[in-house]
Structure 1
Amino acid sequence: MRLRLEFTTEPFDLDEPPRHAVVAREVVEGGTLDAVDVGPFGNTAEGSVDAVVEAVGELLRRTLAAGATRVSLQVNVVNAVGEGGA
């Protein structure tokens, strides 16, 4: 099964990325996730169940420690085995 993670961290700062946003980017770009897309108002990444679950735990721990006051996330199944997935 393959999953897609979508998330944002708050508070927002339109002038420069806050520390928690930089940390979130480090987590998704430094792990085993792929199809990573980091933007100012939302971020997405894809991977296996294990990779996404591991990334979510790391994302929550590190962004909250870096000053995030809210982390919103959604996880969706992209495809499952037998449905064109691996």
Structure 2
Amino acid sequence: MQGDSEHWAEAAAQWIAWARAPNHDAFWAYRDALVDYLGTGGGQALDVGCGEGRASRILKTCGYQVTAIDPVAELLKRPQSNICSS
């Protein structure tokens, strides 16, 4: 039986393509409201389980210093995921 880490390592490319395609899930419906809620920050943010990094990128764009981690190294190796670390 395959564990979660192995599954996500194999599915990383598909997940990244899915997550970055706009307007297909609730993230995109609430993205602007999240940005409005966060406002311009100057503090620190922690994104645990950052995946491909879409929430981390929003936090960074809003001005937060982001520390983001994910146990799946394959998700962190992709372009635009470079603010995450394993």
Which has the bigger relative contact order, CA under 8 A and spacing at least 6? 1
TM beyond 0.5: no
TM-score, normalization: structure 1?
0.27
The structure carrying a bigger strand percent of its residues is 1
Which protein is richer in helix relative to its size?
2
Q: TM-score normalized by structure 2?
A: 0.27
